[in-house]
Structure 1
Amino acid sequence: MGSQTPNPIDHSAHPRVNSADPVPPRPLPAKPAHILADDDEAIRIAQELAADFAQGAALRDREGLLPLRELDLYSQSGIWSINVPRAYGGPGLSHATLARVISIVASGDPAVAQIAQNHIAILNVVDLDGTEEQKRRVFDWALQGLRFGNAFSELGGKTVTDFQTRVTFQGNDAIVSGEKFYTTGALLAHIVPIVAIGEDGAYLVFAERELPGLTVTNNWSSFGQRTTASGSVRLENLRVPRERAVKLRDEAAAPSVQGPVSQIIQAAIDAGIARNAIDETIRFVRTHSRPWVDSGRERASDDPYTIAAIGDLKIRLHAAEALLEIAGRAIDRGYAQPTLENVSEATIRTGEAKVLTTQIAIDATNKLFELAGTRSTLASHGLDRHWRNARVHTLHDPVRWKFYHVGNYYLNDAHPPRHPWN
């Protein structure tokens, strides 16, 4: 929580964000990650992690400290392999459970929660597009506790899907060159999956973090989600075994739930930000805020306008969480039977959830200061991080287009686009 004082941290052992100091590759895990038994265990572990992560969230944000210990706990918890199919040794839990678990973790620290987003989405991509050999290899890495970062997005293209990074094949090697940005998790990953374009389409190429030709730069300077280490990656004639290049299907031609899976994780993070902000508001109003002079009340928590505002925020949060549950179940159906109708429903339901989680995240983090009062803005409380995190993370993809696709689906029977940003 914002006013809690975490245990002292040795800053020399914790690299900072946007620092010129090198961050060496993280050591491989000493033991395999835990494998979740069922939904109840996944939720319980997420709650334990959220309570732990919350203790140092304000300090990490303020000082720009990378969450090394927290990330190790998180990736060993079993949550990072939550969607590995049971046939490959994983728990294969529902996407509704996935959304709830990510939301819980994000309520403790949304920056830590976001680092797992691409890892989990990548597992879904490999599940749908990989060969049997590739599935076994990648799923085994995840079950062993290896973390995947990402090297997807680029800064120079006309749109987010305009990739300039290229892959060529020579004998048994795949050779990759290009530059990436928004590479969440790559700095602290064990393996960096890279989207690259070959002569016959797009590939997802898996490379060890320490390989020659792969350089991760710790230059993430955003004012929110500061400790996600979402910097940049340079690829200079990077060579990996050819079998580690997963050929990606054309999502426009073959319906799949890749987009909704990626999107529901993003929406869940926003719901977690909102929940934490509302909880912080309630705590602060109860313990620190003064009643307004015109209210005639003895306590700020008895102010009728404050009471009504808290009621409004809670109702909208619960509506967003209910839509996350509905979207997760729709993704389950689209995953089991990837018909155009099922995939479109999953995409629309997830888009609806994304609209509500975006709105409540921004509104709750803004309302915090209005209801808690001027003293809530003091730096000692660190509450500004909630608004900064919400404002930055909800920019991942524009919700104004969600309204359009949802409306076009219901009014004109138009199937929504299929890509990771929808």
Structure 2
Amino acid sequence: MNVIKPNTGHPPLGKSGVPGLPRPSAPAHVISDDAEAIAVAHRLAADFVQGAAARDRDRVAPVRELDLFSQSGLWSINVPRAFGGPELSYVTLCRVIAIIAAADPSIGQIPQNHLGVVAAIRTVSDPAQQTLLFDLVLSGLRFGNAFSEFGSKRAADFETKFEDAGDHVIVTGRKFYSTGAIFAHLVPIVALDDQGRAWYAIADRNAPGLTVIDDWSSFGQRTTGSGTVILDRVTVPKTHLVPGYLGYERPTADGAIFQIIQAAVDTGIAKAAIEDTIAFVRTKSRPWIDSGLDRASDDPYTIQAIGDLTIRLHATEALLDRAGAAIDRAVSDPTSESVATAQLATAEAKVLSTELSVYAASKLFELAGTRSTLAAEALDRHWRNARTHTLHDPVRWKYAILGNHALNGVNPPLHAWS
């Protein structure tokens, strides 16, 4: 079993289960506006990129980095103003995630479900529950996730259930792809009630019966901790039981929000791959023997290819912004039309970000040359991360919902993958 190695006081991870991290000793910062969010993201990214290759190579847990990230205020940027949060735009939220993911896409991915659950709480919780849970987020607590299950027939098929026990529920099941659960303070669990409806049961990370196992062995996104969570009669107070299913019984932006954050991660991966391609060609690549040139960066075919990548990146970033703006409108006024518009715009961004991240990470080696494949360069991480992360949901189905809407006027389905 692979083991994520800590880079700060965190116990070694292994088969016996991973202990939870301490809660923050002070409340997190609250971001004031969009400009501050972008500035903070750039500052953190400049730090995170320094150790990204080593963390990937050695599976070093980004504990210090996550503490800086969540305490910076960037994990509460979609908490509503009415509850003390910044309530920044989803355009800004996606730009933040793309900036962080360009530095280290594992760190960029880890808050995805946290931010999605914050959005769901806004959509489906009553004011008392919103006040309680948003206060926890503003205090600096991180949500992980225990959503998906390994080996089920479809992604939305869940065997994890909860029993009603008065003022609390008891949750039993087994989860996989539990990104961020290792590093979380609270773990939202997708569990079914006796009517088959899916709720988020938000358990304490150190709750008796909740065991996190570090068995994530993917070749990419290696430090997300996306392994197993075992739930053996875990007690969750009803104050922390969020009716997630309500977000998909009527038109809401919840599914698009989960999806657009994935697209932002892929956009960041693409941007990093392109920037590393340019840097390598400028400083290390040799011109081809037949070119008659002294510098690889003067090769006209390489210049054309970099131009093509640049255009594709700018198009992807523009679609990401467009989708974020559509989500903002759907959050403000959730109608069948506004939600479908947000879903369709997000699907377009998801298609381009997926295809560009894989393409750019592969094109890097073609343009940079054989030397770029050496282990010391650590450039293979871009392709491994892109190929792994873009498997979350198949873009062929994004093409399908876009085409079906254009041809037949059929709106996308309402679920967390759309």
Q: Which category describes the TM-score, using the shorter chain as reference length?
A: over 0.9
C-alpha contact 2:38 2:95 (8 A) present in aligned 1:
yes
CA deviations on 1:189-211 (whole Å, 9 max, x unpaired) are 00001010001322111110001
Distance in 1 (alpha carbons) for counterparts of 2:192 and 2:264: 30
Match of 1:177 in 2: 172
Specify the code of the residue in structure 2 equivalent to 1:220: W
CA shift, 1:170, in A, is 1.4
CA shift, 1:14, in A, is 5.5
Q: How does 1:85-124 map to 2 (within 5 A)?
A: 85-124=80-119
Distance in 1 (alpha carbons) for counterparts of 2:257 and 2:190: 18
C-alpha contact 1:252 1:417 (8 A) present in aligned 2:
no
Match of 1:157 in 2: 152
Distance in 1 (alpha carbons) for counterparts of 2:398 and 2:168: 40
Cα distance change, pair 207–115 in 1 and its aligned pair in 2 (3 A):
same
C-alpha contact 1:119 1:148 (8 A) present in aligned 2:
yes
CA deviations on 1:127-150 (whole Å, 9 max, x unpaired) are 101111111111111100001000
Distance in 1 (alpha carbons) for counterparts of 2:6 and 2:305: 41
Alignment gaps of 5+ in structure 1 = 1-8
Match of 1:338 in 2: 334
CA shift, 1:174, in A, is 0.5
Distance in 1 (alpha carbons) for counterparts of 2:11 and 2:321: 37
CA shift, 1:250, in A, is 4.2
CA shift, 1:290, in A, is 0.2
Distance in 1 (alpha carbons) for counterparts of 2:248 and 2:206: 35
Match of 2:272 in 1: 276
Instruction: Out of 409-418 and 343-352, give the one that drifted further.
Output: 409-418
Distance in 2 (alpha carbons) for counterparts of 1:230 and 1:252: 25
Q: How does 1:6-405 map to 2 (within 5 A)?
A: 13=9, 19-20=14-15, 22-200=17-195, 201-405=197-401
Cα distance change, pair 52–21 in 1 and its aligned pair in 2 (3 A):
farther
Specify the code of the residue in structure 2 equivalent to 1:371: L
CA deviations on 1:180-227 (whole Å, 9 max, x unpaired) are 000000011000010100013221111100010111111110000000
Q: Secondary structure at the match of 2:274?
A: helix
Distance in 1 (alpha carbons) for counterparts of 2:185 and 2:218: 24
Distance in 2 (alpha carbons) for counterparts of 1:227 and 1:42: 24
Distance in 2 (alpha carbons) for counterparts of 1:29 and 1:251: 30
C-alpha contact 1:83 1:93 (8 A) present in aligned 2:
yes
CA shift, 1:156, in A, is 3.0
C-alpha contact 1:194 1:206 (8 A) present in aligned 2:
yes
What's the % identity of the aligned pairs?
56
Count of matched residue positions in the alignment of Structure 1 and Structure 2? 413
Distance in 2 (alpha carbons) for counterparts of 1:15 and 1:385: 26
Alignment gaps of 5+ in structure 2 = none
Specify the code of the residue in structure 1 equivalent to 2:329: R
C-alpha contact 1:50 1:104 (8 A) present in aligned 2:
yes
C-alpha contact 1:16 1:63 (8 A) present in aligned 2:
no
Q: Secondary structure at the match of 1:100?
A: helix
Whether 2:408 is the aligned partner of 1:412: answer: yes
Specify the code of the residue in structure 1 equivalent to 2:40: I
C-alpha contact 1:16 1:66 (8 A) present in aligned 2:
no
Distance in 2 (alpha carbons) for counterparts of 1:404 and 1:89: 40
Cα distance change, pair 267–10 in 1 and its aligned pair in 2 (3 A):
closer
C-alpha contact 1:16 1:64 (8 A) present in aligned 2:
no
C-alpha contact 2:8 2:63 (8 A) present in aligned 1:
no
Match of 1:6 in 2: none
Distance in 1 (alpha carbons) for counterparts of 2:233 and 2:12: 29
Specify the code of the residue in structure 2 equivalent to 1:214: L
Distance in 2 (alpha carbons) for counterparts of 1:229 and 1:256: 30
Distance in 2 (alpha carbons) for counterparts of 1:323 and 1:76: 29
Q: Secondary structure at the match of 1:203?
A: strand
TM-score (norm 2): 0.96
Cα distance change, pair 12–48 in 1 and its aligned pair in 2 (3 A):
closer
CA shift, 1:11, in A, is 5.9
CA shift, 1:155, in A, is 1.0
CA deviations on 1:381-419 (whole Å, 9 max, x unpaired) are 110000000000000100000001001111110000111
Instruction: Out of 194-203 and 20-29, give the one that drifted further.
Output: 20-29
Distance in 1 (alpha carbons) for counterparts of 2:16 and 2:366: 39
C-alpha contact 2:124 2:247 (8 A) present in aligned 1:
no
